[in-house]
Amino acid sequence: MADAGGIVRSRTLGSRALTVLKYTLLTIGAIVMVAPFLDMFFGALRTVPERLARPPVYFPQTPQWDNFAQVFREMPMLQWGINSLITTLSVTVLQVTSSAMAGYALAKFEFFGRMTAFRFVLGAQMFPFFLFIIPMFFILRYFPLVGGNDIFGKGGMGLLNSYLAIILPFAVSWHGVFLMRQFMMAVPSELLDAARMDGAGEFRIFFTIVLPLVTPGLATLAIFVFVYQWNEVIWTMTVTRTAPNLQTVPVGIYLLRGAYVEEAKMSVQQAAIFLSILPVMIAFLFLQRFYVRGLTAGGVKG
């Protein structure tokens, strides 16, 4: 790339220059990636006078670690964290289970409508989420026989104001089904047939033979879903606006922003933001290799 001029230089010199260029580029990129986080971190440690000074003091002189403690004193951070965990784990479990089951059926069984079902799974991924926001809200609202509703879905609030309102719309993802189908394709059919010969039931085969073989795939999908769901904001906010006891960490922080618009309170808000990122960051550092596999498996067959 660097040799666009077309001058043929000595190969070692050219490739060394290229190497320097590559590392410079990667380093600049890395700074751009990390610096905004540091900016917030310094912000979280500033005192009020430091914020109000003009120009504001950039590097906090005496880091206010107490701002982090104040987050827990002022905001229902613990409740939000529990809500985030409950919804994120539930969605992860449901999505991994449903995807593994459907992916297995699509990959390893011949049945009527299989190709149609598979094409649907591919096509459904093209439907953007915004199309579902309005109708899904009302489907949950008028869900029959729950939350005070009668059989016609009237009378109560249906599934709204419950964890299910946050969880159910994400119980299945078409991308997840597709991903698991790709992983299931690699399971040798001979192994399944042999087990059937031995008289094993279909569900036993699924649980004792198939699932162990695709564990890496399950882990991949699980971390994928976990990260996505922990960070989900639009839908969760739509259904928990009036249910503060169900709000998750990012949604809670966002909806409480009105109380932190004043310069004097911003350090606490920045501390809360930092805390909201932490769990995913830690989980991700340990599990990122699964993420790589997921991206490539779901992506392109070159």
Partner 1 sequence: MRWLNTRTITPLLFMAPVLVFAIVFFFLPVGFSLYISFHKWDSLSPPEFYGFTNYVYLLSKDPQFYRTLVNTFVFAGGTIAIGIPLALVVAYSFSQSRFQTVWRSIYWLPMITNIVAVAFIWKFVLNDAYGMLNRGLALVGLPGPGWLTNPSLSMFSVIMVFVWMQLGHNMLLVSAGLQSIDDTYYEAARIDGAHSGNIFWDITLPLLKPTILFLLITNFITGISYFALMMVLTEGGPAGSTNVTSLYMYNMAFSDLRLGRASAAAYILFALIFIVTLIQLRLFRRGGVEAHN
Partner 2 sequence: MSLNSKVLLHSISAVALSAALAVPAIAQDTKTITIATHYNQENIEPILACYTEYEASHPGIKIESQQVSYADFLQTIVTSRVGGTSPDIYNIYSIWAPQLVKAQALAVPPADITDWIKANYAEGTVGAATIGGQVYGIPTELSVYQLVYNKKILAEAGFDHPPATWAELEEMGAAVVKKNDQGVITTAGFAFGPTVANAVHPFYALMYANGTPPFNADYTATNLTSPTAIKVLTDMVELYQKGITSVGNEVGQFVAGGSAMAIMANWQEGGLKAAITDDFDNTVGVAPIPHDAGTPGGTMLYSFLWAVDSTSDVQPEAWELLKWLNTPAADGTLSCTGAMLNGMGALTGSTADTAAMGDSLTDAFSTPYVEAVASGLALTQPNNLQEAQIERILRTYIEQAWAGTLTPTDALTAADAEIQAVLEE
Contact of residue 239 among partner 1, partner 2, none (CB under 5-8 Å per partner type): partner 2
| Residue 89 interacts with partner 2 (CB under 8 A): yes or no | yes
| Residue 11 interacts with partner 1 (CB under 8 A): yes or no | yes
| Residue 300 interacts with partner 1 (CB under 8 A): yes or no | yes
Residues 225-244 that bind partner 1 (CB under 8 A): 227, 230-231, 233-234, 238
| Residue 171 interacts with partner 1 (CB under 8 A): yes or no | yes
Contact of residue 157 among partner 2, partner 1, none (CB under 5-8 Å per partner type): partner 2
Contact of residue 211 among partner 2, partner 1, none (CB under 5-8 Å per partner type): partner 2
| Residue 277 interacts with partner 2 (CB under 8 A): yes or no | no
Nearer to partner 2, 51 or 108 (CB): 51
CB of residue 177 to partner 2, shortest distance in Å: 18
Nearer to partner 1, 188 or 201 (CB): 201
Give the chain as a DSSP string. Answer: -TTTT-----HHHHHHHHHHHHHHHHHHHHHHHHHHHHHHHHHHT--HHHHHSSSPPSS-SS--THHHHHHHHHS-HHHHHHHHHHHHHHHHHHHHHHHHHHHHHHHH---TTHHHHHHHHHHHTTS-THHHHHHHHHHHHT-TTSTT--TTS-SS-TTTTSHHHHHGGGS--HHHHHHHHHHHHTS-HHHHHHHHHTT--HHHHIIIIIHHHTHHHHHHHHHHHHHHHHT--HHHHHHHTT-GGG--HHHHHHHTGGGG-SGGGHHHHHHHHHHHHHHHHHHHHHHHHHHHHHHHHHS---
